[in-house]
């Protein structure tokens, strides 16, 4: 794309209320149906009557699938209407980034809820056998999205390192328990084996299907990348990325957020075929406009540059954890500040910090529209 400061989204978008309610088999309230109609009109969705009819119907086989496709269509149109240059489908086909993959892969078993923080928990699985690919888990949504947009697509997928880090490793630890006495060495070796088996047996197979179906750009989501900031673990993370993308005729990028960027920066240039680092910065930044010392949130860019990262930045200029709608001028200044810091505006792709699933559609829409306006202001200023 030759346009300066292209805009993109990072992945998830909230599931519409009419879909969530209908999924549970509940009949919808007038307000909920109105919500579907309101967004349908805003997004100029064709054949809206069909959706309204579907929403009023009783449960039947195939209703969920139909709802899913409607919500994916809405999400695609949502990003298009907001004016983004690069997008996908708001991950409407996925329950959640971890469960979606684990449920569709053999060798895993969910053990139940463990603590995340406060009264929040997550359903954690154990690997109980060698992971085995049973069926595609991203292909259908890719084909659907491809069919429903002419825009440039970026397919977000969950990285193997994160899947492994969030899973109990029973199978490999057990296998090595007779072999390696030292617990620390055993655990690391078990993690390594799990990781590379998962990449080979599952992740690469799926990527291969996506590439064959025409995917040109895959974004690997690795929120756990710097969870274990030791040299040994970071080396493992880099190997994991490189092994995942090896040999595919496709562009790859990495998304990582709410992490230790000092550590990631040290290793970013070792990532092969990583055309873009999509990172969260707005969350760390002040809300005051300006391109100087106000931009404390973007200090970490300096570390990536110092460590000679030469790829592009998916620059987080919109905070996804607050309802504050960034004014276009703030977005513009964040972009211009970084453009000056790195000295090459062509390396910036304008992004939210992360997926927008925790915000309402209303807020997400306003945020993205302002992001697009801000990028336009930055383009004018840079011209």
Partner 1 sequence: MEGLRKKMIGCYVTGAFPRPTELIRTTRAYERAGISKKRLEESFEKATESVINAQISAGLDYVTDGMLKWQDLLRPFTENLKGTTVGSLTRWFNNNTFYRKPIITNHIEREKDVVTNMICIEKLPKNLPWKAILPGPYTFVSLSENQYHKDKAELMFEFARVTNEEIRSLAEAGFSYIQLSEPALVCEPLAPKSRKDKLALVNDVLQIAVKGITTKTSLQTFFGDFSKILPEVLDFPVDHLGIDLYKTDFEKLKEYDFERGVALGLLDSRSSLVEKTSGLVPVAEEIIESIYPSNIDEIFICPNCDLDFLPWEKAEEKMKTLKSVTQSLKEEFS
Residues that bind partner 1 (CB under 8 A): 111-122, 124, 126, 165-166, 168-170, 173-174, 177, 181-184, 187, 224, 227-229, 258-259
Measured from the CB atom, the residue of 59 and 258 that comes closer to partner 1 is 258
Provide, rounded to whole angstroms, the least separation between the CB of residue 223 and partner 1. Answer: 9
Provide, rounded to whole angstroms, the least separation between the CB of residue 228 and partner 1. Answer: 5
Count the alpha carbons within 13 Å of 258 in the hemisphere toward its beta carbon. Answer: 8
Measured from the CB atom, the residue of 53 and 115 that comes closer to partner 1 is 115
Provide, rounded to whole angstroms, the least separation between the CB of residue 317 and partner 1. Answer: 20
Measured from the CB atom, the residue of 150 and 184 that comes closer to partner 1 is 184
Provide, rounded to whole angstroms, the least separation between the CB of residue 105 and partner 1. Answer: 17
Provide, rounded to whole angstroms, the least separation between the CB of residue 292 and partner 1. Answer: 24
Find the helix packing angle between 30-42 and 63-82, rounded to 10°: 40
What DSSP line would sit under 209-275, residue for residue? HHHHTT--EEEEE-TTTTSS-SHHHHHHHHHHHHHHHTT-SSEEEEEE-SS-HHHHHHHHTT-TTEE
CA diameter of the chain = 66
| Contact present, 64 and 9 (Cβ < 8 Å) | no
Query: Quick check: helix, strand or coil at residue 86?
Result: strand
Distances 212 to 40, 132, 136, 208, 251 between C-alpha atoms, Å: 33, 20, 13, 6, 13
Provide, rounded to whole angstroms, the least separation between the CB of residue 122 and partner 1. Answer: 8
Provide, rounded to whole angstroms, the least separation between the CB of residue 118 and partner 1. Answer: 5
Q: Which two tokens stand for residue 65?
A: 């699938």
| Contact present, 153 and 224 (Cβ < 8 Å) | no
Torsion sign over Cα 257, 271, 203, 163: negative
Measured from the CB atom, the residue of 114 and 381 that comes closer to partner 1 is 114
Measured from the CB atom, the residue of 46 and 182 that comes closer to partner 1 is 182
Measured from the CB atom, the residue of 9 and 319 that comes closer to partner 1 is 319
Provide, rounded to whole angstroms, the least separation between the CB of residue 338 and partner 1. Answer: 23
Measured from the CB atom, the residue of 135 and 235 that comes closer to partner 1 is 235
Measured from the CB atom, the residue of 171 and 217 that comes closer to partner 1 is 171
Count the alpha carbons within 13 Å of 156 in the hemisphere toward its beta carbon. Answer: 28
Torsion sign over Cα 287, 85, 302, 382: negative
Q: Which two tokens stand for residue 179?
A: 């072999």
């Amino acid at each position: 794309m030759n346009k300066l400061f292209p805009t993109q989204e990072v992945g998830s978008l909230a599931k519409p209320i009419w879909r969530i309610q209908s999924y549970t088999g509940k009949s919808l309230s007038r307000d909920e149906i109105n919500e579907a109609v309101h967004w349908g009109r805003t997004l100029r969705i064709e054949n809206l009557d069909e959706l309204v009819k579907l929403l009023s119907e009783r449960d039947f086989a195939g209703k969920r699938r139909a709802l899913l496709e409607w919500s994916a269509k809405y999400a695609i149109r949502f990003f298009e209407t907001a004016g983004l240059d690069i997008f996908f489908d708001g991950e409407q086909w996925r329950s959640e980034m971890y469960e979606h993959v684990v449920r569709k892969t053999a060798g895993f078993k969910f053990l139940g809820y463990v603590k995340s923080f406060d009264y929040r928990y997550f359903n954690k699985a154990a690997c109980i056998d060698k992971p085995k690919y049973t069926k595609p888990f991203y292909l259908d949504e890719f084909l659907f999205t491809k069919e429903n947009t002419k825009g440039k697509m970026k397919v977000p997928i969950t990285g193997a390192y994160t899947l492994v880090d969030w899973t109990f490793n029973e199978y490999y630890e057990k296998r090595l328990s007779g072999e390696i006495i030292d617990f620390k060495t055993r655990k690391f070796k078990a993690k390594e084996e799990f990781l590379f088996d998962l990449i080979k047996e599952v992740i690469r197979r799926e990527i291969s299907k996506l590439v064959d179906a025409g995917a040109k750009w895959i974004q690997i989501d690795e929120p756990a990348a710097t969870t274990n900031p030791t040299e040994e673990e970071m080396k493992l993370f880099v190997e994991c990325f490189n092994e995942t993308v090896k040999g595919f005729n496709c562009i790859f990028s990495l998304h990582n957020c709410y992490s230790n960027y000092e550590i990631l920066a040290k290793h970013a240039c070792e990532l092969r075929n990583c055309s873009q680092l999509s990172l969260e910065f707005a969350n760390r930044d002040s809300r005051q406009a300006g391109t100087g010392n106000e931009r404390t949130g973007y200090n970490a860019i300096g570390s990536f540059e110092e460590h000679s990262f030469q790829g592009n930045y998916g620059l987080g200029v919109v905070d996804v954890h607050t309802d504050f709608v960034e004014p276009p001028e703030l977005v513009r200044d964040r972009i211009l500040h970084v453009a000056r810091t790195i000295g090459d505006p062509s390396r910036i792709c304008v992004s939210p910090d992360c997926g927008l699933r925790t915000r309402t559609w209303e807020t997400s829409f306003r945020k993205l529209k302002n992001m697009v306006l801000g990028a336009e202001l930055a383009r004018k200023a840079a011209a």
